[in-house]
Structure 1
């Protein structure tokens, strides 16, 4: 399965009426770089690419619109036909926030909410087959590089938190063909790895029970979760959960940024010690 195949989560977007505040927070916290995308900055919107430290290929973007109806931080899912998928997902109980919209000759997108209220985007690349192939190859190459040597500050996972695991599995399984496999390394947590089509998981579902919260968020890799979590709080964020440590050494926290957007921080599991 390729980087740009339908159903893959390949991007995240921050929708805001104040892009400078977003840059100030995430630049200081995770070392992100930013560059305006002139092709996608149309109709009063400034679209700014987000790069992980030292990486040339973007991993997400800021959608700055002074008339934006709400602040949002959402993952983006590849679609072969955004308009058709929007109609299909509505029948599965999803709600349309921004209908299928063409952005010049670059992309078509829609912003939707799943039946639990979690916001996500559908993303279709409208560029020529040659340019699309180049884009996909660049993304695939960066993914391989990051798997071999992960970059702190990079988008590296997504997570669905749910108060109804069965309903969540049913929706995303039907919507995008995602598979959910229980993670027996999570120390007894009701956690499932999510396979979006690749042979390895690219996200997870955390079953938080009826008293939990529902969310769909990106997770960013850092080298020291407690330190970065503390820094996030100093920059005005709220710590919703953690830091917490799994038996395999993975450390995790869940943060709400100063504009009310949820994201995760994690560090990789500890490498097993040689006998």
Structure 2
């Protein structure tokens, strides 16, 4: 990801909805060194900020509905949530939650693309988004995992103004040419019931060591550490509560 701060259309925040916030705090502290602080206000619903030093990098919260599976959600920045929601629905996507205001922090909505991949839109006010990208323990890449990439290549540029690389095997998303993610088409290695989704990747200094730490802390490796041709070394992990995310080795 070449982006180093939230910009319109780009990824700006990453949030975990989990069945056990306390256990997630312990797991991700062991994995990334996060320091977590839970908002004490009752109306905040247990919303917890994860920090690297003083930098805010992610959030953890209880699942919103009984039976909801734990999952990471990627948020993309917009100057006008309501206008972006209108673009989503006009392009064949759907509105799931909102739009609504979050205190004085900003305005958000949860939406899905035409294939059903869920993401959030964030209109920052007092809070623009993550303070850090690409450093070890912070968001480093966002990947759309979908069964058909071609419709997505039209949807996201129309909604968020993204640029798309010319690669046929792995198209990459960007803002004014600064790439921050890609699109992976599901193959036979994915179970038939796996839905399209957004997969966040966190930057790490050593993918193999981090993968081993995840296993020892109760996580499961869905993809063993693998070096991508002309790319980084990556792994995909399921945390102890079931949320899936990736890691990738930062460039030297």
Residue 16, structure 1, aligned to residue 18, structure 2: yes
Choose the corresponding residue for 1:177, options 143, 156, 161: 161
Distance 1:84 1:222 in 2: 36
Which structure has the highest strand share of the two?
A: 2
Alignment partner of 1:258: what SS?
coil
Distance 2:58 2:44 in 1: 19
CA 1:122–1:170 in 2, change beyond 3 Å: closer, same or farther?
A: same
Choose the corresponding residue for 1:251, options 233, 240, 244: 233
Q: Which has the higher contact order (CA 8 A, sep 6+)?
A: 2
Alignment partner of 1:50: what SS?
strand
Alignment match, 2:180: 202
Asked if the contact 2:10–2:76 (Cα under 8 Å) also holds between the matched residues in 1, the reply is: yes
* Equivalence map 1:214-229=2 (5 Å): 214-229=196-211
Alignment partner of 1:191: what SS?
coil
TM normalised by structure 1 equals: 0.77
Count how many residue pairs are aligned between Structure 1 and Structure 2.
Answer: 245
Alignment match, 1:158: 142
* Equivalence map 1:13-52=2 (5 Å): 13-37=15-39, 41=41, 43=43, 45-52=45-52
**Structure 2 unaligned spans of 5+:** none
Which structure has the highest helix share of the two?
A: 1
Distance 2:138 2:57 in 1: 8
CA 1:258–1:94 in 2, change beyond 3 Å: closer, same or farther?
A: farther
TM normalised by structure 2 equals: 0.84
Alignment match, 2:90: 91
Distance 1:98 1:66 in 2: 11
Deviations 1:170-196 (A, max 9, x none): 11121111122146xxxxx92222113
**Structure 1 unaligned spans of 5+:** 184-188
Shift of 1:200: 2.4
Asked if the contact 2:143–2:200 (Cα under 8 Å) also holds between the matched residues in 1, the reply is: yes
